[in-house]
Amino acid sequence: MWGVELVMDKESRRPFPKGKGAAGLATKECLERGLVIYPGGGMVDGIDGDNFLIGPPLVITSEQVDELLAKLEEGLAEAAKKLLGSVE
């Protein structure tokens, strides 16, 4: 299992405001590409903070890992465009 935190700014690690729904948007974009991720949130202060889990099967092949990563990259890139284009 992999855990991934989504932040507005990598350097400061400032989270997205809860109202942005970053984990939900990332999940939607990944699902549209055929990748299931499991969203979560509130780990910064009980309110803000977005994350998700990736739980590939234990028998995943290297080719499937490459496919997973490609779909993840595409999904996160699209989510970032939408989220960062709408921030402040």
Query: What pTM was computed for the model?
Result: 0.87
Q: How far is CA 48 from CA 5, 6, 56, 76, in A?
A: 11, 11, 27, 19
Instruction: Tell me what the pLDDT averaged over the chain comes to.
Output: 92
Rounded mean pLDDT, 77-83: 95
Tell me: the pLDDT tens digits for 15-53? 998 889 999 999 999 999 999 999 999 878 878 899 999
Note the Cα 9 to chain centre separation in Å. Answer: 14
Closest to 68 measured CA to CA, from 81, 55, 82:
55
